[in-house]
Amino acid sequence: MKIILYSFFIVLIASCKHKTAEKPVAKPVYEPILINHLLVPEKEVYDFLNFIINKSEYKAYKLIAENELNKWTSNNNDSYFLKQIDTLFNKKDIDFIMAQLKTASGFRLKKEYYPDKITIPFDTLIKFLNLRNRNDRDSDPFKESLRHRYGSSFLDSYSLPFFTLDYQTAIIRVSILLRGGTYIYHKIKNKWVKIKTLDEWIE
């Protein structure tokens, strides 16, 4: 009798272990909108960026920032950017654009797409900017650092472009040779055409 009971408990324990081992493990949940920091297909993003960066007025300059230094703001619904686009797009497009805005800081330009340019890492640019913040001289250590390391102080900067839902309209901020601005482009007969300037600046 003892042998039978002992055998029964052995089988019961083994059965419990087997059931425990087969208990399904919860799979991690990935948030699709955060993958690669892009809500828009990468091809759409780089097809547009290639058009902008390869425009004749920009092609002469070799240095290009990995990510723009002037960050978009998405802190609240009263942001300056939202006010700029509020009357230009419908609500669905605005919601989509603002969702892209939240991923902009994680975007990094892929240097393999631009072998004829020198892509400056974002961390390096921040380090050079910090030198400017501590500077009490008349000269600009940011530009001096760029010139010393890369042979030029002329730096191009392009933001992550933001698209409407149909990918036919895009907003981008460009900084090039002491000037820049925020522009809206629309695709007409498969060609990007600038249709509006939201703002411009000259240093």
pLDDT digit string, tens, across residues 116-140: 889 999 889 888 888 876 655 667 8
Return mean pLDDT, the chain. 76
Residue with the bigger pLDDT between 26 and 64: it is 64
Q: Which pLDDT does position 33 carry in this prediction?
A: 34
Confidence of residue 67 (pLDDT cuts 50, 70, 90): confident
Q: How far is it, in rounded angstroms, from Cα 153 to Cα 142? A: 8
8 Å CB contact between 170 and 46: no
Q: Which pLDDT does position 92 carry in this prediction?
A: 94
Span of 3-7, 112-116, 165-169, 184-188 with lowest mean pLDDT:
3-7
Q: How far is it, in rounded angstroms, from Cα 131 to Cα 39? A: 34
What is the average pLDDT across 67-86? 65
Hey, which bits of the chain come out as E strands?
Answer: 63-65, 118-120, 155-158, 162-163, 169-176, 179-188, 191-202
pLDDT digit string, tens, across residues 137-183: 667 888 888 999 998 888 888 989 999 999 999 999 988 877 888 99
Confidence of residue 24 (pLDDT cuts 50, 70, 90): very low
| Residue given tokens 């007025």 in the structure block | 57
Span of 36-40, 47-51, 71-75 with lowest mean pLDDT:
71-75
What is the average pLDDT across 49-68? 80
- pTM, two decimals, is 0.73
What percent of the chain is modeled with pLDDT above 90? 25
Q: Which pLDDT does position 32 carry in this prediction?
A: 33
Confidence of residue 37 (pLDDT cuts 50, 70, 90): low
Q: How far is it, in rounded angstroms, from Cα 154 to Cα 59? A: 12
